[in-house]
Amino acid sequence: MVDIEEVRKHNTKKDCWVIIHGKAYDVSDFVDEHPGGSAIIVKFAGKDATKAFDPIHPGDTLTKYLATKYHKGEVTEDDEYDDDEDDPPSEQELLRRKMVKKKPDLSQMYNLNDFEFVARHTMEKTAWSYYSSGCDDEITLRENHASYQRVFFKPRVLVDVTNIDLSTTMLGTKVSSPFYITATALGRLGHDDGECVLTRSAAKQDIIQMIPTLASCSFDEIVDAATDKQTQWLQLYVNKDREICENIVRHAEKRGIKGLFITVDAPQLGRREKDMRSKNIEDLSHVQGDDEEADRTQGAARAISSFIDTSLNWKDIKWFRSITKMPIILKGIQTVEDSLLAVEHGVDGIVLSNHGGRQLEFSKPPLEVLIELMPVLRSKGLQDKLEIYLDGGVRRATDVLKAICLGAKGVGIGRPFLYAMSTYGDAGVYKAIQILKDEMIMNMRLLGVTSIDQLNESYVDVRNFQTRYLPEDKLFGKVYEPLVSPAFKL
């Protein structure tokens, strides 16, 4: 039994204890490793952090990532701790709660933008901001979507389009439609059941779910939520500690995961100002005095959590191959050059992705990389050496069709399903997928094709990539929340 007064003393970054579910933990050595940043932990130094911890962490987090020596045991009752809401809700929050009550019926959702619209107005500010934010000025985030608007169709008529077949194969799995639910972190920010909501809808709709490393349900919870016939993939942030890494991979294979997607575009997490601003956390790194200067540079270096290994490089691929038989796919390839290196290193696939515009600002849209890549692969006879996926910016079935026409095996969709989950739960995600499928069928008919394998470059006109003309997308423009300048005080 640890005395609450004792806990209260460890209230600095260097000496930092927190209480979670009545137990104290010394997280001093962990603070800088925290994938969510140190600031949020330090905010609770010497205090009860349960309410902030619970909604986003899997139940096994502390056991898994914090050595037993840091588990300080149960804490005596905390008189000061008030389980009820402490701060009165802000005007903004009160407005949000009203909006939640007036939420439109699910039947009013006609497209994926609609879910985003409702999410923006009904989700808690911090959750919305975490999901929706991109890096820097969010230009990359918007360009990802824009790239699809630049492709026009060349539809063929007078083709018998009575029977349409949307099914295709991804890494050997037969799926009902050429898109999958890609990995996105912290599902429980949007829904109590977190990533499991996505699992259930994926099962019903017969599409693949990619499980994220930073899920807020535990890996096993998500796998348990799946049906026997269901296919899941695993997205992996490579930990500096390769033993942890190996355990994760071997466990995943054992549990039946059918593809290992190694994230390669995030040696350091991007700076997402919309998210930062919503948390209103003091950006501690910059307020140090003169004498802390020496520290600072180090501090910047230390900002790299051991959760993600900055030293990960091409040589590591071999090691991964040695520990698993799962197909290995590199997620986050952004150039033709690295795509060729991927072939050379014998991986089974790549995901052209700039992380949904959350990492490097001005990384080119995946669709544009695809357009450059395919002729190169074909000229070298490599087009069948690996499966090519892409993600980022997909909102309509026409987007999916364009990607397939241009050489992709399938596309990943992330945020739209998060928004559907956060607003209407299981029914929302199910419907979001169904909307895409209905649009797929209609658009394939109108395009004059009846099966996925018929889609090819003759159905698209990509000349706008030369001009970069961008027709206005009014709904997308409306649901997008622009960055704001800092607020003046009241």
**Whether the Cβ atoms of residue 396 and residue 153 lie closer than 8 Å to each other:** no
Name which of residues 239 to 278 contact its own copies (CB under 8 A): 264-268, 270-271, 273, 276-277
Q: How many residues bind its own copies (CB under 8 A)?
A: 121
Tokens encoding 58: 């899997």
**CA 302 vs CA 32, 296, 326: distances in Å:** 7, 9, 33
154: left (phi over 0), alpha (psi -120 to 50) or beta: beta
Residue in 141, 46, 137 with CA at minimum distance from that of residue 357: 141
What is the C-alpha to C-alpha distance for residues 132 and 419, in angstroms, rounded to an integer?
9
Q: How far apart are CA 259 and CA 348, in angstroms?
A: 9
Is 417 among the residues that bind its own copies (CB under 8 A)? no
Q: Which of 296, 318, 378, 380 binds its own copies (CB under 8 A)?
A: 296
Eight-class DSSP state of 460: E
Q: Say how far apart CA 13 and CA 194 lie, in whole Å.
A: 30
Compare residues 195 and 361 and give the one whose CB is closer to its own copies: 361
Question: How far, in whole angstroms, is CA 177 from its chain's centroid?
Answer: 20
Residues with Cβ within 8 Å of 341's Cβ and at least 6 positions away in sequence, in order, are 314
Footprint on residues 114-133 left by its own copies (CB under 8 A):
114, 117-118, 121
Task: Sketch the per residue contact string, 392 through 411, with its own copies: x for CB under 8 A, - otherwise.
Answer: ----x-x-------------
Radius of gyration of the chain (CA): 23
When the beta carbons of 214 and 475 are compared against its own copies, the nearer one is 475
- Contact flags string 16-55 toward its own copies, x per CB under 8 A: ----------------------------------------
Is 391 a binding residue for its own copies by CB under 8 A? The answer is no
| Residue 338 touching its own copies (CB under 8 A) | yes
Q: What separation in angstroms does the CA of 483 have from each of 277, 296, 415?
A: 9, 28, 18
The DSSP call for residue 361 is T
282 binds its own copies (CB under 8 A): yes
Rounded to a whole number of angstroms, the minimum distance from the CB of residue 472 to its own copies is 8
Q: In angstroms, what is the minimal distance from the CB of 282 to its own copies?
A: 4
**Nearest CB to its own copies, comparing residues 64 and 296:** 296
- Are the C-beta atoms of 290 and 320 separated by less than 8 Å? no
442, 451, 453, 456: residue in contact with its own copies (rule CB under 8 A)? 442
End-to-end CA distance of the chain: 44
By CB under 8 A, what part of segment 98-117 binds its own copies? 99, 101-111, 113-114, 117
Residue 69 or 474 having the CB closest to its own copies: 474
Which of 341, 343, 376, 462 binds its own copies (CB under 8 A)? It is 341
Kindly state whether residue 435 participates in binding its own copies, applying the rule CB under 8 A: yes
- Residue range at the interface with its own copies (CB under 8 A); choices 80-88, 304-312, 377-385, 408-416: 304-312
Give backbone dihedrals phi and psi of 430, rounded to 5 degrees, phi first.
-55, -45
Q: Is 71 a catalytic residue?
A: no
Active site residue 265: yes
Which one is catalytic: 26, 48, 114, 265?
Answer: 265
449 binds its own copies (CB under 8 A): no
Pick between residue 51 and residue 98 the one whose CB is nearest to its own copies: 98
Asked whether position 229 contacts its own copies by CB under 8 A, the answer is: no
180 is catalytic: no
From the list 237, 389, 419, 424, the catalytic residue is 237
Complex with its own copies: residue 10 or 431, whichever CB lies closer:
431
Selected from 304, 340, 343, 462, the binder of its own copies by CB under 8 A is 304
164, with CB counted inside 10 A (0-12, 13-18, 19+), is middle
Q: Cα–Cα distance between 480 and 58 in angstroms, integer?
A: 30
Between 31 and 330, name the residue whose CB sits nearer to its own copies.
330
Using CB under 8 A, which residues numbered 152 to 191 contact its own copies? Answer: 152-164
Q: How far is CA 113 from the centre of its chain?
A: 18
Which listed range, 28-36, 209-217, 224-232, 358-366, lies at the site for its own copies (CB under 8 A)? 358-366
Exactly one of 60, 220, 337, 453 binds its own copies (CB under 8 A); which one? 337
| Angle in degrees, 0-180, between the axes of helices 91-101 and 112-122, rounded to the nearest 10 | 130
Q: Which of 372, 367, 368, 313 is nearest to 337 (CA)?
A: 372
Joined tokens for residue 210: 């990619």
Q: Which residues are catalytic?
A: 237, 265, 355
